[in-house]
Structure 1
Amino acid sequence: MIQDRKLEHLSICKNYDVNYKKSTGFEDIELIHRALPEINKADIDISTKAFGKKLDSPLFISAITGGHPFAEKINKELSIAAEENNIALGLGSQRAGIENPELTSTYTVARDYAPNALLLGNIGAPQMKYAEDAVNMLDADILAIHLNPLQESIQPGGDVDARGYVESISEICDLVDVPVMVKETGAGICAEDAVKLQRAGVDFIDVQGSGGTSWAAVETYRTDDRLLGEAFWDWGIPTAISTVEVCSSVSIPVVSSGGIRTGLDAAKAIALGADAVGMALPFLKAAYKGHDTIVDYVNKFNESLKLAMFLVGARNIKDLKESDLVIRGETKEWLNDRGFNTKKYSRRSNIDG
């Protein structure tokens, strides 16, 4: 049953090491320190309006859970924190709640406790029949469509027929009356697919690159035959690389997620072109500990983002997106081999400024 699988996913993410063994690539990104920032840190504005509502921080609590009675408590805690801090919140795949009304409250609890927050609904690419119900269930501001070919490939009985995804996504964009975001689930999005998504009518993209939670790892713990899962544990495009590929190829707002853990990671992602960043696993673990732990995590994230912005002289998110940085190592090699000019990031500011 779907709800049993949802509970297994929660338990595995809480109790096992499901992180990628390779990195996000952000260790290869170096922001250029400004010894003369010429700004007051207290005046730094980290708000964003890129996603239809003004958010006090570019932090998204990425899609985590729903579809099991236990998930209701987690989503309640996350919703209260999202409302209090005016940040965005994504819910897990809503298929379980649409097919089984007894599970609907594990999703609707989000709007109950976050009446003003930016909420993201969630369905799979081939699930067009669920699109309108998913939006209505949450009074969602954005409908997210998740892509998870890696997870489906490792998951016992997974759906590995991905024909017609682009057409389905395009039809969903025409069907619903809210903006649509397409998100990967931890293996990243390349430039070519990002262009296809924008042409299909998608309003936002969440790269969800590799380096954070590996769903191949999660599914590995659910099967006795671990050969496939262990072989593909680290499959995917590292988050920093996926962020550059997508931001350099489309003109729609982009969320960078996948292994981002601090405001410094976020600053690097935004300087690479992202409009916001997402995190899931840290918030799932914080939710088990309660409201105060979640809020403390948000506060520490925001403070470290402001500190990074202060050190590069960025007064707001727009300034941060124009900050100078250097791309090094394997990340530079990958991007250069793929035809992306990494030098364009290193001297964007006025040398006399």
Structure 2
Amino acid sequence: MQRRPDQDHEDNKRTSTNEFRVSEHLLPEIPTGERKMEHVRLCLNEDVNGQGISTGFEKYRFRHLALPELSFSDIRLAAAFLGEELRTPLLISSMTGGSKTTGLINERLAAAAEARGWSLGVGSIRAAVEKPELSDTFAVRRNAPTIPVIANLGAVQLNYGFGAEACQRAVDIAGASMLVLHLNSLQEVFQPEGNTDFSSLLQRIEALCKKLEVPVGVKEVGWGIDGSTAARLYSAGVSFIDVAGAGGTSWVQVEKYRNQDPMRKAAAEAFADWGIPTSDCILEVRKYNPGRALIGSGGLTNGVDAAKAIGLGADLAGFGRSLLESAVHSEEALHERLAQVEFELRAAMFGIGVRTIAELQGTSRLIKH
């Protein structure tokens, strides 16, 4: 049957506005009422991007170098982070865990990260700290014996009974080499079960940094960290910042789909464009905190985005929801997705004539237009 002239356009429109939609059979074990699986389902099947705001990477472009004077095979992605030697400057950002199905996703993510030399963050381990029977869903070290693994807890839990012992438990569960505390104040406000007491957290974070033997970092979840806030956190003893800026997933929009309160569902629309673009966060945090460990994440979708994040000053580039569909689909799809990001990053480096990640960080060929 012949297609209408506008049919291709409509198909492309559907794909671009809902690129994470997948068939329900790919998530056969999701209990509808389980929060973590609801989050995965919504991130895959609903439009939960922030609206009217972007990462800002589109404002930057690399000035092409027609004569790079190097061989593509000479390009190296090796990097260093907090004293660890890495095969790539790429991170699978914290996403999930806490149920049988999300545990399987974590297994795939861990195996792929190990095979390709990516660092790996896991989703909030709070559930396993409170319910040890869930620990196995975060036990990624068995599939990722050599790469950096980042355990994850909500910083606000420090105001709800979590101390150094609970944080160490989270590190032990994941076999992690470091811990990141996530800041998600607006998500908690819109989440039906939210914890919203964010008072005096800086001093609790400072106390935790002094007690834990592993490095402690702080990340946002999609609204960004500005330079002065980062400076306060570094001064408190935080070892690294993950800006997790705006331009990708908005967790207010995710929680909008879960909230049964009509007023809060309507109010979520007012925050669709909230946050600091990822590119602005990276520039600002680096400007005011030179030499400190920095991860650039938030809305990254390809290796050119990663190159831009590193070119602007990040040490690592983090990918989250843009990997989730592949991770749910199959091990092969996930490996192919990671390989593509690496190829795109290397190609971008070749296009401006840099051999190493250190050269990319110092490049003058990333310009604002």
Secondary structure at 1:248 match in 2? helix
Secondary structure at 2:309 match in 1? helix
Matched, 1:121 2:183: no
Match of residue 60, structure 2, among 19, 29, 35: 29
Secondary structure at 1:299 match in 2? helix
In the TM superposition, residue 53 of structure 1 has moved relative to its aligned partner by: 2.5
Amino acid corresponding to residue 271 of structure 2 in structure 1: F
Match of residue 285, structure 1, among 325, 332, 357: 325
Matched, 1:235 2:292: no
Find the counterpart in structure 1 of residue 368 from structure 2: 327
Matched, 1:198 2:198: no
TM-score (norm 2): 0.86
Amino acid corresponding to residue 368 of structure 2 in structure 1: I
Match of residue 215, structure 2, among 175, 179, 189: 179
In the TM superposition, residue 123 of structure 1 has moved relative to its aligned partner by: 1.0
In the TM superposition, residue 170 of structure 1 has moved relative to its aligned partner by: 0.8
| Unmatched runs of 5 consecutive residues or more in structure 2 | 1-30
Find the counterpart in structure 1 of residue 129 from structure 2: 98
Find the counterpart in structure 2 of residue 132 from structure 1: 168
Match of residue 315, structure 1, among 339, 349, 355: 355
TM-score (norm 1): 0.90
| Unmatched runs of 5 consecutive residues or more in structure 1 | 329-353
In the TM superposition, residue 165 of structure 1 has moved relative to its aligned partner by: 1.2
Secondary structure at 2:210 match in 1? helix
Amino acid corresponding to residue 349 of structure 2 in structure 1: M
In the TM superposition, residue 52 of structure 1 has moved relative to its aligned partner by: 3.4
What CA distance in whole angstroms lies between the structure 1 residues aligned with 2:339 and 2:99?
29
In the TM superposition, residue 234 of structure 1 has moved relative to its aligned partner by: 2.0
Amino acid corresponding to residue 20 of structure 1 in structure 2: G
In the TM superposition, residue 36 of structure 1 has moved relative to its aligned partner by: 2.2
Match of residue 59, structure 1, among 90, 98, 110: 90
Match of residue 153, structure 1, among 167, 178, 189: 189
What CA distance in whole angstroms lies between the structure 2 residues aligned with 1:32 and 1:273?
17
What CA distance in whole angstroms lies between the structure 2 residues aligned with 1:49 and 1:318?
9
CA RMSD of aligned residues (A): 1.6
In the TM superposition, residue 91 of structure 1 has moved relative to its aligned partner by: 0.5
Secondary structure at 1:244 match in 2? helix
Amino acid corresponding to residue 367 of structure 2 in structure 1: V
1:31 touches 1:323 (CA, 8 Å); kept in 2? no
1:19 touches 1:211 (CA, 8 Å); kept in 2? yes
Count how many residue pairs are aligned between Structure 1 and Structure 2.
327
In the TM superposition, residue 30 of structure 1 has moved relative to its aligned partner by: 1.6
Secondary structure at 2:296 match in 1? strand
Q: Percent identity?
A: 41
2:190 touches 2:259 (CA, 8 Å); kept in 1? no
1:96-124: CA deviation from partner (whole Å, max 9, x where unpaired): 0010011111101x112112221100112
Amino acid corresponding to residue 326 of structure 1 in structure 2: I
In the TM superposition, residue 223 of structure 1 has moved relative to its aligned partner by: 1.5
Matched, 1:300 2:340: yes
Matched, 1:261 2:301: yes
Find the counterpart in structure 2 of residue 168 from structure 1: 204
Match of residue 110, structure 2, among 71, 76, 79: 79
In the TM superposition, residue 57 of structure 1 has moved relative to its aligned partner by: 1.2
